[in-house]
Chains A and B, each alone.
Chain A
Amino acid sequence: MSSLIRVWNIPGGVHPPENKKQSLQLPLGEIPLPPVLVIPLNQHLGTPSQAVVQVGDNVLAGQLIGAADGTFSVNTHASTSGTVIAIEECAIPHPSGIAAESIVIQPDGLHAWIEKEECADFRALDRLDLLDKIRAAGIAGLGGAGFPTAVKLAPKSTQIIDTLILNGAECEPYITADDMLMQVRANELIAGTLLLSHILHYPEKLLIGVEDNKPKAIAALKMAIASASVTDPEAKKIQVVSFPTKYPSGGAKQIIQILTGRETPSGHHSADIGVICVNVATAVAAWRAVRYGEPMISRVTTIVGEALQTQRNIDVLFGTPISYVLEQHGFDKNRASRVVMGGPMMGFTLLDLDAPVIKTTNCILAPSKQELPAPPPAQACIRCGMCADVCPASLLPQQLFWYAQAEDFDRLEAHNLFDCIECGACSYVCPSTIPLVQYYRAAKGSIRQNELEKEKADRSRQRFEFRQARIAKEEAEKEAKRLLRQKAAEEAKQKLADKAASLSALPQVSQTVPDVVSAAVAKVSSVQVSTDEQKTKLERMVNAAKVTLEFSQKPLVPNKTNPVISEEQLVKQQVRIKQAELKLAEAEKKLADFIATQPVQNPTDAKPIEAAQATSVTPEIIVAAKTATAEVTATIEDPMAAAIARAKARKKAAAIPDKSDEEKRAEQIKALQSRLQKARERLAQAEAENDPNIEAFRLGITKLEERLNEIQNSIGLQTG
């Protein structure tokens, strides 16, 4: 079938020596299994895949070992059967020479395959299923960039694809991998083209673009189409288009322009202009993935260069160390100037020959020193303009060079640096041998880095501002709380002052007695809720005190145990009387104060109080008061508080009559301890506030401690 397609021309371009004959002398070969396979998890464009095997696992050929991480990623498969011996950072073919995570497999030599799911008729399958098969097979563009094929074959619904281009141009010197593939696998390529056509809803045009320096490939393809057309009329649609050899017509944008005359706009994909362009080897891999269920584990690679004894194309497993490949082809280290992955125009020098063959390795070039000498030093730009003449993207390489030197990134972007395909035509023609492409690559890298940094700076700014806002909010909340607390404290102080005013009338005793006690009193009194209760209590106290006084005033009567009244006893009685008197006076005063401080109090109430004074004395309280007054001589406790405490204790004891003595004591100790604790707290507070009663507080504490010790000692004695 003759070409009915008009062939367009692209701007620029160069004609470097082709050097394609060397590797086409021998048929497609194979090499034995290497002792070890190093399979990087990132052999494509996009996110690296994630290892799904462990060290020590046995794997089969075609088994998934790295799962795609997201849509824009590609699966990785074991290239042969064997054992995973390491998952570590290994040298990979990358211009930086940086190591990356790889799975190292020790082959068992059997090359046993996983179970393959074959599919005789792809048209019976849903398009999405076919895409899934291609995605699962880990197919990435084999032309050199490694774009995930499943992503490429799923254009947006707005992109109407009318042309499918199979890129068999292979314009770069030395490389013949696609040429060889088209010669030996033409039938598979035609089948693959039909498969892709089916997936893309049968575009109008199915074109296989081949440069006219590959007559054998063109003939093979035409034959394959003819034989396929017998069984499948769709194959008649496929046209093989040969066009004049010119570098870089194999670039995706360039071959689209050559075959359709359409130019891909800056910043757009070819799908935006209705064209999908796939490398011929990728189409074959996709076909094998669907037809035979074979994941992509090998590729055709050109092994070429004068430093090798054998120059040919081989079908090589991914992960085969390049050093092993070179060894199999009689690599002479001393003759080689360097080893390049890719062609002489766009390839890069390998820094570590142990790096493996990966999906994008279309050529391994081991040139001799004469064949590809080290680039001569760059001279000054003479502004000849040859670079602009050959630029296939119609850029201004010279301007870009100046701006890249000056690191003027704004102007670089304004001159569409990112439309540069880095083909190297400008460097090739430069009479001053300026490594122009390296300038552009560096500038592109800097711009990308700056963009990332800008993004990061924006995020930092956001985080910083958020943090400032958060701190301000926290401060505001704290301030509000502090104000609230201050207000509450003031209120409490006011209350305390009121209380103090009512208590300040306490007689001498209260001042000589430690303040702890008065505080206790305050506490006790605060427990009493209603004023009535308070009053009754005070009245009771007065009564009790009276009774005590009477009791103590009784003349001492000699009894059986104490037949003689000693002087000591007399003195004691005197003291007791005095104490009782004092207490009575105090209690009365308190009552009077209390009545005085209750302005709402009905004056008539006074009478019943008087009456109550006479009658309402319960025996319990009397007992309490008695003990209280007795205690006064021993401790300097406020009798009132002590009395109340004791009365309470007694009540408690009465409530639980079966409590043992020890338990009571334990309770006592507990109570004392808690009081001691409280007293200490108060002391601390007093110290903080510089209270004049610090001494008193301290005394109170020592007293409490003494008592506690006493009781504990007595327990100790009892038990001991």
Chain B
Amino acid sequence: MIDFILQNPILSALLALGGLSAAFGAILGFAAVKYKVEGDPLVERIDALLPQTQCGQCGHPGCKPYAQAIVNGEDINKCPPGGQATINALADLLDVPAPTLDTEHGEYSAVKKVAFIREDECIGCTKCIQACPTDAILGAAKQMHTVIIDECTGCDLCVEPCPVDCIDMVPLPTNIDSWKWALPATNQKPVFHVVANLIATDRRNTSDDKAA
């Protein structure tokens, strides 16, 4: 063996390298089959960032198809319900500069809305039930329909098919549970009229004035 290597250094080197590449190739090939990832993980990750309203405003029938389209090179600024926050998150994930929302697909609305069926006007045609992407409308043929508020994504898709136009999109009311503190107003705009109050002694003077 050693004699052979000594006598044919080039050949033995070639053999060794060839053997190594064959072995690693086999390992890699095995790993590719054994640890194959089902589905596209990137699509899943993009889908997780989308708001899941399933509204179709991006031009795709649902959030997942849009996620797939983004993977295929579509713009990331076509999701009005998600707004700039979603665009930023997507840009962060895909490591691209964040564009602004393409308003061609709709405007972002900070106020969440849900569908509301005026029940005495509903004729029970089931058209809205068929249109609802999340099965959030309850009802049956010739029976009054109603919206399950907790499941409604506010996608708007049920409004158009209604033949009697009895569906409204109403802003979700704020209750004790959904209320939250707002950021202090000064966060938004700098206050200039306080120049006279800049230092602590100024402040003390004004309060003394008031007291007096």
Contacts and interface: CB of A to CB of B under 8 A. Distances in A.
Q: Which of B53, B175, B184 has the most CB of A within 10 A?
A: B184
Contacts of A378: 184, 186, 191
A123 to B, nearest CB: 40
A467 B182 CA distance: 37
B122 to A, nearest CB: 21
Interface string B109-145: 0000000000000000000000001111000000000
A383 interface: no
Interface in A219-250: none
B194 interface: yes
Nearest to A370: B211
B133 A42 contact: no
B188 to A, nearest CB: 10
B181 A464 contact: no
A445 B200 contact: no
Interface stretch (A326-334, A434-442, A635-643, A676-684): A434-442
Given A379-B198, A460-B134, A464-B62, A98 B210 contact: no
Contacts of A100: 175-176
Interface in B31-63: 47, 50-54, 62-63
Interface residues of A, number: 42
B211 A467 contact: no
A715 to B, nearest CB: 41
A42 B186 CA distance: 32
B194 A438 contact: no
A439 B183 contact: yes
A652 interface: no
Interface string B184-211: 1011000101100110100100010011
A448 B181 CA distance: 11
Nearest to B202: A376
A553 B47 CA distance: 92
B180 A442 contact: yes
A445 B176 CA distance: 12
A100 B64 CA distance: 39
Contacts of B203: 376
A712 B186 CA distance: 93
B179 interface: yes
B153 interface: yes
A142 B32 CA distance: 62
Contacts of A445: 179-181
A408 B186 CA distance: 18
A463 B176 contact: no
B178 A449 contact: yes
A496 to B, nearest CB: 36
A340 B63 CA distance: 47
B165 interface: no
B54 A442 contact: no
A377 interface: yes
Contacts of B135: 463, 466-467
A460 B153 contact: yes
Contacts of B182: 442
A377 B191 contact: yes
B206 to A, nearest CB: 9
Contact of B47 (A96, A369, A431, A461): A461
B204 to A, nearest CB: 11
A294 to B, nearest CB: 28
Contact of B181 (A369, A441, A459): A441
Nearest to A42: B176
Contacts of B178: 449
B174 interface: yes
Given A370-B210, A435-B184, A438-B184, A464 B54 contact: yes
Q: Which of A373, A443, A456 has the most CB of B within 10 A?
A: A456
A464 B52 contact: yes
B187 A405 contact: yes
A442 B181 contact: yes
Contacts of B181: 95, 438, 441-442, 444-445
B194 to A, nearest CB: 4
Interface string A280-300: 000000000000000000000
A667 interface: no
Chain B residues touching A, majority SS: loop
Interface in A82-113: 92, 94-96, 98, 100
Contacts of B210: 369-370, 373
A95 B133 CA distance: 37
Q: Which of B63, B151, B181, B211 has the most CB of A within 10 A?
A: B181
Contacts of A98: 174-176, 179
Q: Which of A463, A464, A467 has the most CB of B within 10 A?
A: A464
A94 to B, nearest CB: 6
A444 to B, nearest CB: 8
Given A98-B174, A377-B197, A379-B198, A460 B54 contact: yes
Interface string A434-478: 110011011111101100010011111101111110000000000
Nearest to A348: B181
A377 B194 contact: yes
B209 to A, nearest CB: 11
A94 B176 contact: yes
Contacts of B52: 456-458, 460-461, 464
A322 interface: no
Contacts of B180: 441-442, 444-446, 448-449
Q: Which of A376, A405, A434 has the most CB of B within 10 A?
A: A376
Given A379-B194, A449-B178, A463 B186 contact: no
Contacts of A456: 52, 150, 153
A96 B53 CA distance: 28
A455 B183 CA distance: 24
B134 A464 contact: yes
Given A378-B184, A439-B183, A449-B178, A463 B151 contact: yes
Q: Which of A92, A457, A459 has the most CB of B within 10 A?
A: A457
A387 to B, nearest CB: 15
Nearest to B200: A431
A404 interface: yes
B9 to A, nearest CB: 57
A95 B176 CA distance: 10
Q: Which of B52, B135, B150, B153 has the most CB of A within 10 A?
A: B52
Contacts of B179: 94, 96, 98, 445
A586 B178 CA distance: 89
Contacts of A369: 210
A570 B210 CA distance: 136
A446 B47 CA distance: 21
A460 B211 contact: no
Contacts of A439: 183-184, 187
A441 B179 CA distance: 11
3 tightest A-B contacts by CB?
Answer: A445-B180, A457-B52, A441-B181
10 contacts: A92-B176, A96-B179, A376-B203, A442-B183, A444-B181, A453-B51, A457-B52, A460-B54, A463-B135, A465-B64
